[in-house]
Amino acid sequence: MTKHWSAPLLVNLLLGIPAVVPVWLLWYLASNWPLAARGLTEREPTEDDGALPWFVVAGPVVLAFGLLWWLANRPLRRGTTLPPARYWALSVLAMLVPTLVLIVISEA
């Protein structure tokens, strides 16, 4: 067991690599339907299937990753001295780092 924050940081950075897929799926759904309906983004012009097929595809992927992430973080949370709010914030931000790196690289 670890009392330090380095193990959760490393585990969540590594989990962030496969997290790129569910994060992208969630962004695609949000940007094409609710955000586009509010005028905050533009819909993908070739998207004419509606949202249901995306929920059928994205739902299991996002749920499976969420379960994996939660199961990996539960024992780590108990083994650290970080307060719960800090632990979960560190975990979420560390998991998003690979996605943010890919966004920065793609914009360069």
pLDDT exceeds cutoff 80 at 1: no
pLDDT digits (tens, 9 = 90+) for 57-107: 899 999 999 999 999 999 999 989 899 999 999 999 999 999 999 999 998
Summarize the confidence of residues 9-25 as an average pLDDT: 97
Residue 1 lies in a domain: no
Residue 22 lies in a domain: yes
Three-class secondary structure of residue 8 per DSSP: helix
Would you state the pLDDT for residue 19?
A: 98
| pTM, 2 dp | 0.85
Domain that holds residue 87: 6-107
Task: With beta carbons less than 8 A apart as the criterion, state whether 95 and 10 touch.
Answer: no
The Cβ of residue 69 has, within 10 Å, a number of other Cβ atoms equal to 20
Q: For the chain, report the end-to-end CA distance as a whole number of angstroms.
A: 40
Give the total number of structural domains in the chain: 1
Q: Strand (E) positions, the chain?
A: none
Residue 31 lies in a domain: yes
